[in-house]
Amino acid sequence: MYTVKVRSQFSSAHNLRGYKGRCEELHGHNWHVEVAVQSEDIDAIGMVVDFKELKKILEEILSGLDHTYLNDLEQFKSINPTSENIAKYIYKAISRKKSELKIKDVTIWETDTSSAIYSEQ
Number of C-alpha atoms within 13 angstroms, CB side, residue 77? Answer: 4
Residue of 67, 74, 84, 100 with catalytic role: 67
Active site annotation includes 110: yes
Active site annotation includes 67: yes
Could you tell me which residues come within 8 angstroms of residue 32 by beta carbon, excluding any fewer than 6 positions away? 7, 8, 9, 108, 109
Could you tell me which residues come within 8 angstroms of residue 115 by beta carbon, excluding any fewer than 6 positions away? 83, 107, 108, 109
Residue of 14, 23, 34, 84 with catalytic role: 23
Question: What DSSP line would sit under 32-58, residue for residue?
Answer: EEEEEEEES---TTS-SS-HHHHHHHH
Q: From residue 78, give the alpha-carbon distance in Å to each of 2, 114, 119.
A: 36, 24, 21
Residue of 14, 29, 34, 110 with catalytic role: 110
Active site residues: 23, 67, 110
